[in-house]
Amino acid sequence: MKSIFFSAITIAGKSIGAGLATIGCAGAGAGIGIVFGALVLGISRNPLQEPKLFQLTLLGFALCEAMGLLAIMMAFLILYS
């Protein structure tokens, strides 16, 4: 039989862990901003390379977004397991 103290500590630990796991979402948001900022600078410097730059930007966006989604997934796994 688990004590009330053990249950409270477990819930507190899961909440803190899930909160810390969501910090990755802030990093993903900053990464997406950097990627699109670099796209604007690249197009302003060399407009002829726009299609190639846009392809690379979409790849960078997808990778940053995947890291954010993995951070949220880890937070839910910590919280509900």
Counted domains in the chain = 1
Reported pTM: 0.78
What is the pLDDT at residue 1? Answer: 60
* Residue 47 in domain: yes
* Residue 72 in domain: yes
What is the pLDDT at residue 11? Answer: 92
* Residue 12 in domain: no
Residues of the chain where predicted confidence (pLDDT) is lower than 70: 1
Tokens for 16, please give them. 């803190």
What is the pLDDT at residue 24? Answer: 87
Mean pLDDT of the chain: 92
39-67: string of b/e by CB count within 10 Å (b at 16+)? beebeeeeeeeeeebeeebeebbeebeee
* Residue 15 in domain: no
Range of the domain at 40: 22-80
CATH number at residue 36: 1.20.20.10
